[in-house]
Structure 1
Amino acid sequence: MDLPLPMISVSGTPRECGIAYGIAAADLIAANTANYMARFSTSAGLDAERVHGYGALFRAASHRHAPRVAAMLDGVAEGSGVPVEEIYALNGRTELIYTAEPHECTAIGVLGERSASGHTLLAQNWDWHPDQRPFALLLATTDELGRQVVALTEAGMLAKAGLNDAGLGVCVNMLGTRLDRPDGGAPYHVLLRAALEARHLAAAIKAVCATPRGASINLLVGQSFPGGTPGEAIDLEVAPGDVGFLHPVDGVLTHTNHFETALSAHDTLKAIGGSSFFRAARARRLLGAGPIGEDRVRAVLRDHGGHPQSICRHDEPGLAQADRSETLCSLVLDLDERRMSIAAGPPCTAGAYHDVWLGKTV
């Protein structure tokens, strides 16, 4: 299969999946972990001892609140040979460095009532530091119950955006508040995986709301429903101790990296500024009226309004190293077809999107 990223397919219990993933991607996981250990030091002033301490806290919280995800991460450490505390710190990298390294993404949801196909669509540009490009991969898992997930992630992590065989999908944006702290609960990427493993929309929402967390996060969650029942999508703005909800307007949801609901927590982006404050509104406007086809969604993901800090984000080498960011991957999820279409970013230069179907690739 011609894909822009490596794909690793594993099966078994969560621990078995983790071990197999760790073995298959051992070199990438070791290199990615070493890269982040250096960034924890340079960006956040954390030496290895403190990183291991946070990793142990993340592991304990994960086992309490997301035990199947924790079993998989323990397996990743076992299979890859990377210390387990470093694997959990890797999955908590948002908690450890995001306040020092703010980066941006754009997410889109389109209900079947607005999509040209009648299908529920989610889409996203994943914007992150260009040095992380070599460590991006697709992880496809089939658990011991036959349940399937395919997710975009970084080597050693379990999920960012993705979908499962129940027709449930997740896209993600970083958020930040003054309440964020590295020791507040299950890590950002554990919470993402827990939501992505849910079998129905309410369970995904429960996983997000009920799991204590130290980092703020935005999840755009959708699900297609069987029997011709229209699908649904909801946006969850999650901060430590609080959650805000956004619902589709005229069948469309968009979100970037600032809060749009009135949570009590102070949005730290207000003290930084940036393109987030216009990208979500611009994406909604560019989607336009009438039926929305995937071609139009992809055109929005390629948009250069406000370049280089546009929806299609481009690197600015003149920036400080910690501030550099670009669109590393662009993807569209058709939840009815159980299909992920993905391009290596920036999408303006990536050419074709490549299709991955659940059931055909895992």
Structure 2
Amino acid sequence: MNPPLIAVEGTYEEMGAELGRRTSELVARSLETYLRRFRDQAGLSDADVLRWGATYLDVARGYDADIAAMLEGLAAGAGRPVEHITALNARTEMLYGTGYRDEGCTSVAVLPKHTRSGHTLLAQNWDWHPEQGPVTFLLATRDTEGFAVLTLAEAGMLAKSGLNSAGLGVCANLLVSDRDKGGAGVPYHYLLRGVLQSRTMSKAHRRVLDVPRISSGNLLIADAGGEAIDLEVAPEVFGTLLPQDGLITHSNHFQCPLPLVDRKAATSALTLLRPTRARHLLEDAAAAGTLEPADIVRTLRDHYSHPDGICRHVDPDVGKDEQVSSVYSVVMDLDARELSIAAHPPCERPYERWRLAELFTPGAEPEICFPIEEDHA
């Protein structure tokens, strides 16, 4: 089942409160899962979680007042301690900063000169624990100035991959390095929301790069202006990748020569080949200038090295807590401000296309697109 749409409008505190009220049961389920993971896999007590949650609340207030107001409103609306909500939004740091390791995603950006429509395209498969699928949804926000964001979000959180009304979009990929640490830095999911709150590419860069970071991560950013850039970030260092032949592809290892030790490259399923595999599948159409969203969908449904390919399936030999799959697959047309999404497994489901301009109309419904192809059935 594809995710529901939750659309909220108003001030950031009002939007957070409405989001909390409408997703309170999902927030409870998401918190139950992550509090268990914090305890069992990261060794964090309830007191530890509240203490770090308070730290990340202070960080949010210093990083972006609108993000902080939305988090505080969400907590009030859901009837939860705000420290639990900020801990959820810092779950990467809460888990990975303590030595816990898990999975990531495959992302793609295509410049407009290489697409049939002349539009910038951005896409990814989000590979994560299947248990989070039912508590993940599309979050649409529109503030009092009319600025709108559409993003995938786990319950209690504010961002993942998405786009905004300025035509700017971002995709997320997990990275892990020996520089990752605990402390009072800006959590990765704050950075994602910070990008989506940006009206220009320049401001998005500053929201990611000119801040203290305590964890590694990858942000593939593109816009309707026709540019794309990949930012590999870690505490105190960062690297950039620019399009080659109109494409950027990324997974879960560092591709830039940064002064760090990559803690994920050797263990993340097929990460060393997934970006190259995606490029191989897309490069002919990109070279011809005829690449379409359907070409990207076929790539996101690719089963090379099954079950660990771009279209990730659960490995039956892996324990339940370590199971990972392509929970959701997302394709964005940044010029049209459209986001298409399919739930796991995207190889067996059509996508649903949402148009940002229509999300706040009562009774808004998505358009079914990208039907299942015979060779992926």
TM-score computed with the length of structure 2 as normaliser = 0.92
CA pair 166-15 structure 1, distance change in 2 beyond 3 A: same
Mapped pair 1:115 → 2:95 = no
Letter in 2 for 1:214: I
Report the equivalent of 2:137: 137
> What displacement does 1:271 show?
4.8
Match of 1:18 in 2: 16
- In the alignment, the residues of structure 2 paired with residue 270 and residue 160 of structure 1 have an alpha-carbon distance, to the nearest angstrom, of 22
- Structure 1 residue 232 and structure 2 residue 227: aligned? yes
Of 6, 9, 13 in structure 2, the residue corresponding to residue 8 of structure 1 is: 6
Equivalent position of 1:312 in the other structure? 311
Aligned-residue RMSD, C-alpha: 1.2
C-alpha displacement of 1:184: 4.1
**More divergent stretch after superposition (180-189 vs 165-174):** 180-189
Contact preservation (8 Å) 2:265, 2:272: no
Match of residue 269 from structure 1: 264
Deviation at 1:272, TM superposition (A): 2.8
Look up the match of 1:242: 237
Q: Please state how far the C-alpha of 1:60 moved relative to its aligned partner.
A: 0.9
Aligned counterpart, 2:374 = none
Q: Is 2:265–2:271's contact at 8 Å kept on the other side of the alignment?
A: no
After superposition, what is the alpha-carbon deviation per residue over 1:11-63, rounded to whole angstroms, capped at 9, x for unaligned? 11111110110011111111111111011111111111111111111111111
AA partner of residue 351 (structure 2): Y
1:185 alignment partner in structure 2: 185
Q: Structure 1's 31 and 273: CA in aligned 2 closer, same or farther, altered over 3 A? A: closer
Give the SS at the match of 1:87. helix
Match of 1:338, as an amino acid?
R
Structure 2 distance, partners of 1:258, 1:294, is 25
- Name the CA distance, whole Å, in 2 between partners of 1:306 and 1:210: 39
Matching residue of 1:48: 46
Q: Is the 8 A contact 1:141 1:150 kept in 2?
A: yes
- Does the CA contact (< 8 Å) of 1:254 and 1:281 recur in 2? yes
5+ residue gaps, structure 1: 226-230
Q: Which amino acid aligns with 1:250?
A: D
Structure 1 runs of 4+ with >4 Å offset: none
59, 63, 66: which one aligns with 1:65 = 63
The alignment's TM-score, normalised by the length of structure 1, stands at 0.95
Q: Contact 2:103–2:268 at 8 Å: present in 1 too? A: no
Q: Which residue does the alignment assign to 1:297? A: 296
SS of match in other structure, 1:275: coil
Task: For residues 316-341 of structure 1, give each alpha carbon's deviation from its aligned partner in whole angstroms, at most 9, with x where no partner exists.
Answer: 23213332100010010000000001
Flag structure 2 segments of 5+ consecutive residues without an equivalent.
361-377
1:96 offset after TM fit, Å? 1.6
Instruction: Tell me the percent identity.
Output: 44
Does the 8 Å contact 2:252/2:265 carry over to 1?
no
1:81-107 per-residue CA deviation (whole Å, 9 max, x = no partner) reads: 111111011011111223423102000
Post-superposition offset of 1:77: 0.4
Cα distance change, pair 161–273 in 1 and its aligned pair in 2 (3 A): closer
Distance in 2, Cα, partners of 1:314 & 1:239: 29
